[in-house]
Each structure stands twice: as C-alpha cells, then as structure tokens.
Chain A
Amino acid sequence: MTGGSTGASGTDGGTTTGEDPRDAVMFDQAATAVEAALAAGATYADARVVLRRHERLHAQNGELEAVTNTDDVGLGVRALVGSSWGFAATSELSERAAGTAGAEATATAKASALVPGEGLHLADVPVAQDRYRTPHEENPFDVPLDEKVEVVVSATRTMHAVEGVMVATAHLVFWDTEKWFVSSQGHRIFQHLVESGCGMDATAVGERETQRRSYPQSFGHVETGGYEVIRRFDLPAHAPEVAQEAVALLSADDCPSGELDVILESSQVALQIHESVGHAIELDRILGWEAAFAGTSFLELDQLGSLRYGSELMNITADATIPRALATFGYDDEGTPAQRVPIVDEGRWVGVLSGRDSAHLVGLEPGGMVRADGFARIPMVRMTNVGLLPGDSSMEEIISETKHGVVMATNRSWSIDDRRLNFQFGCEIGWEVKDGERVRMVKNPTYTGITPNFWGSMDMLAGEEEWVPWGVPNCGKGQPMQIGHTGHPASPARFRNVRVGVKA
C-alpha cells in the first residue's frame, strides 16, 4: 500500500467534504484499535492510520548523489489510564493488528501504575468529523523525475564551476501525508498534507577552515504546498551568488569581537524564535515532562500574563492557519482545530503551546499543537507556526540607522542551554556596518545572549514586505526522538549591544 494520491476533490485547499474510497477501511481500522483500547480498560483512546510518502533528491558537484523514496504505512494508538499514556504502533494494517495494538496500548499504560502520579484528564474540544487538504497547485510526486533531477544537478554544477568551491550540494524534499484519525469521543478526521522544500549550499575550503553559503536558508526551506514552492525559489538562478560568496568568505576578515548592534536577516530571526521562544513556551517542557532530554524552560506559569519577554516590538503568535507556512494543517493529532494563539503581546508573555492533557492540567484552552512524527510515535506538543509579527521598518532602513553593528545572515550553528536562556548562534556570513553603511564582509559571525535580555534589546523590525514564513523541517524532541516540522514567519530585526565574535 502506498501513499501519494491527491484524491479526487482537487487541491483547492482547506476543509473539504469529498469522501475517499479508502475511508471505510482506514477509519474502521483506527476505530478497531480505539475499541480494543477501551475494552482493555482505557478511559480514553485515539488512533491514527498514516500513509506518509517522502521523496528526497540530493546532488553534489553536478552529479546526482541520491534519490530516495520512503513509504511509512501503519497505525498508532494512544490509550489513557490514570496518570499515563500508553502507546502502541504497528506497521501491519489489518483488523487483527489494530485490535492487538489497541489492547497493547492500554496494557502498557496500565503498567505505568507502578510509578503513578495524579490522573491526567483532557480539556474539552469540539468533536469533529471533517476533512482537510493542503492547498497546492502542483503535486510534486507528479512532476517528472528528470525535471527534478535537472534542478539539483544544474544548480550544483553551476556552483562547483566557481573556482574555490570544493563541495556544492542541492536537495529537494517532498512529503505527502494522509492520516485518518478516530477518537473514543467521536472524532473522525481525514487530512492530506503536502509539503515541499529545497536548499543548496556551496562550501569553500581553505587551509584551516571551511566557509559555506546556503540558499534559501541553511538545511533548506520547506513549506506546505506543491512543486510551485520549488519553482518559486529557483535554485539554479541563485547558484552563482551563493558560490561566489562562499569563496569570498575565505579571504574576508573575521567578525569583530565585542558588544555591537546585531542585525539579523529573517531566516536567522526564525531560528532565534525557534530556540529561544518556541521551545521555551512548550507547556509540556514548562511542566517538566521534557526535563531529562533537552531540559526545561526558564518560564514559570505564575508569570504568564506579566513576564516581560522582550521589547514592545515583540509580538509572537502560534498560528497553524497561515497559508504556505510549514506547520499549517486542519487539525492536530488529537483532533483539536488549527488556531491562532497569541504568545507574546507587545513584549509581554501571554500564551503557551499546549495539548488537551497539559492544558487541562493548568486550566487553559488547548491550543491544537499536538502532533506526531508518523504513525509510530506518540503525539506530543510541537510548535506550529511560531512567528514574529512584522514591524514597520526595513532592512535598508535598519542599516542606515545603525552606527556600528554587524548584519548576520543564514544560520551555521545553534546551541542553547537546558532552560532556553543562554544561546550562542553562528551565521554563515556577516557584514560590518558603520555609520549607516555596510563597509565590509566578515566571516565566522557569532553572537551570544540571554533570552529576555536579547529580545528586550530589539528596537527595529522590518515590515510585511520582508516577512517570510520560514519552515524548519528538522526539529528534534522527545524520547524516542521525533522530528517535527515547524514554521517561523519572521522579518529582519535589530538588537542592541549584543556580544558578538565569540572565539575558541
């Protein structure tokens, strides 16, 4: 059984009413798992049948290096007993396997009673029976392979032809995910999500260093949508500039060290949001549920509504309804509708990322932010499109009003502590700014800071024209590890008196 069908009702987007001939089988198997979980003693259960198809093309130095197709097909069922979720997954799609998985999920949850806590309960959400499809113009799996190959091969050939470029790579990625969700409260939701992305980079190698430039951002950029995303970003057209900048960096001066103003281009702002806001506002992390792995959060719930997170220019929302953004969907993986939740309002912390269990625990409305990485992982709180609303300035205006600073673009390294407070980022390229003008390119730009201090120093923010719904397709969280797809709309911004140029 393979995924990849776009169904018969077109790709006009949003919630649709068309039936799918596979519905009966898929919903029935999910329902079988749920019923088995309840019969075994669960107080609540839900199940997802998921067909996920992934294609990746990777080229290097003008040659195609890999074309990989992955089909993940299976069922995952979640059962609540007391203070614990039990979860079971099987790659066998059959009534028998579904029933076994449902019973195992409950048995697993029951085994948790040896180390019990307070009972978990679920916040109420509307019981939906609905369908949702990602709006897209061109099914990426229908585009001829030769055409896709030519994009990555030609882009890397162009970059590699530039003298000094040692390695040029490019990739295209596509996901086509169909999922049938059933809950013991009556949900029956079908969703068909389509995601497309691309990226390329050129690496120049010096005697004791490497320098890299990437486009559109490091590790690529992904959106919800079809092959039109690839056409819009047009890798081959940008290949010469990317390669030339990588080579130029080898002979550039090092980023100055000290306290300077930092001007971040939008994709670096996006990663700054991801690490220092997105993870910090996950309610499960705040509650300590992720403590042993990536850590907790500096945020405490009694500060919700009062804590100053940043300057008054800082307005953050978690919005799963933004067109094209990577974490846009109809419903999360526990049947809560996609929604827009205020997180930071004029610098004040006002919201969290939550699921039905965590929201109930602290008396908040569930935000519809619980998703799973395929059928074999338990749904958990994941960022949706956690973005910074645009300001009214522009990159050029920000530069013109900066006396001494560094423009930094495109992430190269990222690290943050286990409370989401102390971060250090490296970017691929920088430009020193003096008296309102870019005066020179600099390499190895890094900056470090403390989350609320840093956001509190943001005093200029570019507007809607430079606002990009950046997508991050590689967010790791949870044990077992899950890879999440998150969105971070952002525009360029300036931060005052930041420590830059950290060196070994």
Chain B
Amino acid sequence: MSADATTPLEELADRVVALVDAHGGDGREVEANVTVSRDRHGLTRFANSFIHQHVGEDTVTVSLTAAVDRRSASASTTAVDDASLRDLVERTLASAARQPVDPHWPGATPPDAVDRVGHFDPSTAEADPAARAAGVKAFVDAGPELRAAGYLDSEAMWVAFASTAGQRAAGSSTRATLDGIHQTDRSAGAAHQTSDRLADLDAGAGGELAADLARRSADFVDVDPGHFEVVLGPEAVSTVVTFLSAYGFNAKAHLEGASFAQLGEPQFDPSITLLEDPEDPRAIGLPFDAEGTPRRRFTLVDEGVTRALAHDRRTALRADTTTTGNAVPGGQSFGAVPFNPRLAPGDTAPERMVADVERGLLVTQFHYCRVLDPKTQVVTGLTRNGTFLIEDGEVVGAVGNLRFTQSFVEALSSGRVLAIGDDDRLAAGEFGPGMVICPSLRLAGWNFTGGARG
C-alpha cells in the first residue's frame, strides 16, 4: 500500500464537495470543507511477558464542516455509500441553516499549495501482526526474569481534503511505536521509541533499557519531598512541552485570557528555543491540518522570548492574523495546538548533566499530570518508571516515586535552565507518542510535594 492510496479518498472528497455545491444557488451561500481519511492501525499488546490483546482496524471516515450563509455545522460518518453521503450532506446543511450566524466562520479554505512531506513508509503501512509480534519477542526476551508489558503498533493514515473554495490536498503518514516496561516486584523501567518506520524500532535495545532501569530501581529508598534540582529525561520533558503547547501556545486559550503566553516577552530562559516543526525529518504526521492548510515550521519561543501562537483559521480571524496550519478536528471548542513541537537541543551530554549535579533527582518519566490552572501552568503529577538520586555528580541509587506540584513555566524561566541535552528525539509524553521532539533538561528546581506513599 503506497502513499498514492489517497486517490480513492480524493475522489470521495470531490463527490462530497459536488453534493454540497448542488445545494448552492437560489441566493444562498453554501460552503464546505471535507476531509476523507483512512486509518489502518495494528497494535500488539503484551502483559506478564506474553501477548494478550492483538488488534487491527481499517476504517474510512468522511468529515464535513459546512456553512449556509455563514451558519455552520459539522458531521462525520464511517458509512461511505452514496445514500449515506447524501444523507450526511443534507443533514449537515439542514443543521447549519438552522443555526445562528457563526461570527467566527472563516469561510471554506482557499487554495494554498501543499508540498507533500515524506513521513510515509510503505513497509510500515503493510506491517502485519507477525512483524509486530517479533518486536515484542525481542523486547520481552531482554528481561527473562522480569515481567514485561506494553505495546508495539504500526499505523498508516491516508487523508484527502477538498473545499468548495477550491483547496485540494492529499497526504499520508505512517507511525510505529514501541512503548514497554519491564517490572520487578518492586519497580519498573520503561522504554519508548517512535518513528515513521517500523524498521527503525530496535525493540531488543528498548527491552535492555527498560530491564536495566527496572533492575536498578528494585532497591529504591524513599526520600522526603522538597525542592530538588532535577535532570529530566526526554519523556519527562515531552510532558512539559505538551502542556505548554496545549494550554499555552493555543491561540484560542490566549484570546480567552487563559494562556500564560505573552508575545514578545522573555518568559523562558534564553537557552530555550521551541519550534513547531512538521518539516523535521523525524516528525510524524500529515503535511496539512484539519482545515486543509499547509503545515510549515515556525518559532514559538526564540531564545526565551515567546514569539508566536498556534492558530487555526477561526482564531486567526479573531486575532486578525493568518493561520499557522494547526487546526485540529473539533478544534472549534478547544482551539489550535502545535502537533510537532520541537525543543531545540543543546550541547550537553546527559551524562555530563548528571555529573554537574551536587544533589538532585534524575527523572525519566512523569505520570498522570493534570493542570491546576492553565494560566500559571501549575501542574500536579508523579514520577514513574525510574527515579534516581544524584549526589556529587553520580547516580547513587533509586528513589520511590514522588508527587510534584510545579509551574512548568516557572521551571523553565530565566536562570532556571542549567543545561540542555544533545539527546533530542521523539519522546512519548502525557498524551502519547509521536508529537514532541525534545532533549533532556537540567533544571535548577522542581517542587516535589509528596511521596507516592504519603
């Protein structure tokens, strides 16, 4: 199955646009954006060191956002026969016509050429259950005395977009992820790998890493909570970046006063540069957003100064600016978010970061983080799957999981970022894999407010 498998989807999108256009005339202005997507996803899940759930799906979805005289409505369906598509169009237009005028309706997406970005790997799209099972076996075998759990999946998406204003776009993407842990009776260690190519995953190496972390954590001791210098691994940093992106660089949240972001202000340490970077060769995803707008690289934070927000066409209209190509499905309510945030790497090796810490904690991963107030970015959560005490530049042992209550913006503010790693990669954060590319960070302080046992 190749990237060109979008052709039937493009034809389907054109048919829906034609059905919408047929309802125009008689003085009514009828507009629409249509997205047709095919998702082929297989996931091999394992626990207690064997595969227990093994799933696959192949679904096609047609999504329609339509406006009649600037009154808008949206609908989607997985039924793509002629009668269902006609029903979809008629119901959506009827629904739209009965709405109040939508003051933020930006119009159907106008033509804007989309450059295809090659985040698609045919062999990943074709991956079968046996290929994924082989990866799981390599992961499990790395810890024969341990209990392994996790998943290995492969996904391909083909998407076609068409609007009544003439925009046409088609693209495809693949993703494969290994997300697993090894466990002793007292501890766990994790490994995460994501790529657009299943062949890039080294499940055996992932298993070795997770097993090593689990074994080294087995004799953990509890430390009293308090303020610690920290070295955060890429997975932990990914969660921080995800929260900043979803709640802070979201233009809708900014328009509503709920974002911390202040454009032009030095809100972060000068060493921090954050990009929205769908053009990075490692990035996962499509070359256009849910509104069919081309997705391009731009800078969110430049050397500590907040420079930009993620916009869709609705928020761009409200803010009198242009979309950045960050519309998400259903984004009318939540707003636009960066899909591919990339925190620029530094030049410090992770081992050097640890060596420079007099007393602090090495945190590999955060767990169950939730924002207490989006404006302050105060978040609570826990450490998980490997937390270690550093003394005099050396990891001296594992510690029990800790709860933190910490402002993510404050943690990255001027003077608080002591080093940035040279180990940037796709890292899995709180909301899953395939979004954030980031390195490790050494930070001056992190507020741990409780141990996992009280």
For the complex, is B395 an interface residue (Cβ under 8 Å from A)?
no
- Complex interface: chain A residues within 8 A of B332 (CB): 58, 65-66
For the complex, is B98 an interface residue (Cβ under 8 Å from A)?
yes
> How big is the B interface, by class?
35 or more
Question: Is there an interface contact between A115 and B137, defined as CB atoms closer than 8 Å?
Answer: yes
Question: Is there an interface contact between A208 and B367, defined as CB atoms closer than 8 Å?
Answer: no
For the complex, is B133 an interface residue (Cβ under 8 Å from A)?
yes
Q: A71-B79, A424-B403, A479-B151 are in contact. Are A88 and B179 (CB under 8 A)?
A: no
Q: A89-B59, A169-B333 are in contact. List 17 more A-B contacts (CB 8 A).
A: A68-B75, A69-B76, A71-B79, A73-B79, A84-B52, A88-B56, A104-B56, A112-B50, A120-B52, A166-B257, A210-B375, A291-B181, A292-B179, A376-B59, A417-B452, A424-B403, A502-B450
Chain A residue with Cβ nearest B150: A292
Question: Is there an interface contact between B384 and A418, defined as CB atoms closer than 8 Å?
Answer: yes
- Complex interface: chain A residues within 8 A of B292 (CB): none
Question: Is there an interface contact between A115 and B136, defined as CB atoms closer than 8 Å?
Answer: yes
- Complex interface: chain A residues within 8 A of B137 (CB): 114-115
For the complex, is B378 an interface residue (Cβ under 8 Å from A)?
yes
Chain B residue with Cβ nearest A374: B78
Chain A residue with Cβ nearest B177: A479
Partner of A479, one of B45, B56, B333: B45
Taking the nearest CB of chain B, how far is it from the CB of A394, in angstroms?
30
| Cα A60 to Cα B452 with chains together (Å) | 39
| Cα A413 to Cα B79 with chains together (Å) | 37
- Complex interface: chain A residues within 8 A of B79 (CB): 1-2, 71, 73, 91, 93
- Complex interface: chain B residues within 8 A of A292 (CB): 47, 149-151, 179-181, 190
Interface stretch of the complex, out of B26-34, B99-107, B115-123, B238-246: B99-107
Question: Is there an interface contact between A86 and B54, defined as CB atoms closer than 8 Å?
Answer: yes
| Cα A499 to Cα B102 with chains together (Å) | 47
For the complex, is A25 an interface residue (Cβ under 8 Å from B)?
no
Question: Is there an interface contact between A1 and B84, defined as CB atoms closer than 8 Å?
Answer: yes
Question: Is there an interface contact between B75 and A74, defined as CB atoms closer than 8 Å?
Answer: no
Contact mask for chain B residues 126-169; partner A; CB cutoff 8 A; 1 contact, 0 none: 00111011101100100000010111010000000000000000
For the complex, is B372 an interface residue (Cβ under 8 Å from A)?
yes
- Complex interface: chain A residues within 8 A of B449 (CB): 424, 448, 502-503
Chain A residue with Cβ nearest B75: A69
| Cα A167 to Cα B252 with chains together (Å) | 11
Question: Is there an interface contact between B84 and A153, defined as CB atoms closer than 8 Å?
Answer: no
Interface stretch of the complex, out of A28-36, A282-290, A463-471: A282-290
Taking the nearest CB of chain A, how far is it from the CB of B61, in angstroms?
7
Interface stretch of the complex, out of B87-95, B271-279, B280-288, B436-444: B87-95
Most chain B beta-carbon contacts within 10 A, residue among A90, A380, A413, A504: A504
| Cα A176 to Cα B452 with chains together (Å) | 41
Taking the nearest CB of chain B, how far is it from the CB of A107, in angstroms?
7
Contact mask for chain A residues 371-400; partner B; CB cutoff 8 A; 1 contact, 0 none: 000001110100000000000000000000
Question: Is there an interface contact between B41 and A480, defined as CB atoms closer than 8 Å?
Answer: yes
| Cα A251 to Cα B83 with chains together (Å) | 57
Q: A64-B99, A70-B76, A89-B59 are in contact. Are A208 and B375 (CB under 8 A)?
A: yes
Chain B residue with Cβ nearest A67: B73
Question: Is there an interface contact between A210 and B374, defined as CB atoms closer than 8 Å?
Answer: yes
Q: A65-B333, A145-B98, A292-B181 are in contact. Are A91 and B59 (CB under 8 A)?
A: yes
Q: A205-B258, A417-B368, A450-B454 are in contact. Are A117 and B48 (CB under 8 A)?
A: yes
Partner of A203, one of B42, B75, B258: B258
Partner of A115, one of B46, B103, B369: B46
- Complex interface: chain A residues within 8 A of B368 (CB): 294, 415-418
Contact mask for chain A residues 479-493; partner B; CB cutoff 8 A; 1 contact, 0 none: 111000000000000
- Complex interface: chain A residues within 8 A of B410 (CB): 504
For the complex, is B309 an interface residue (Cβ under 8 Å from A)?
no
- Complex interface: chain A residues within 8 A of B78 (CB): 71-74, 91
- Complex interface: chain B residues within 8 A of A426 (CB): 370, 372, 380
Contact mask for chain A residues 280-308; partner B; CB cutoff 8 A; 1 contact, 0 none: 00000001111110110000000000000
| Cα A288 to Cα B378 with chains together (Å) | 32
Partner of A83, one of B50, B73, B99: B50
- Complex interface: chain B residues within 8 A of A11 (CB): none
For the complex, is A422 an interface residue (Cβ under 8 Å from B)?
yes
For the complex, is B55 an interface residue (Cβ under 8 Å from A)?
yes
| Cα A504 to Cα B225 with chains together (Å) | 12
Partner of A208, one of B190, B376, B403: B376
For the complex, is B447 an interface residue (Cβ under 8 Å from A)?
yes
| Cα A418 to Cα B49 with chains together (Å) | 19
Taking the nearest CB of chain A, how far is it from the CB of B1, in angstroms?
15
Partner of B74, one of A67, A120, A295: A67
For the complex, is B322 an interface residue (Cβ under 8 Å from A)?
no
For the complex, is B351 an interface residue (Cβ under 8 Å from A)?
no
Question: Is there an interface contact between A290 and B76, defined as CB atoms closer than 8 Å?
Answer: no
| Cα A377 to Cα B45 with chains together (Å) | 13
Question: Is there an interface contact between A153 and B100, defined as CB atoms closer than 8 Å?
Answer: yes
Chain B residue with Cβ nearest A116: B50
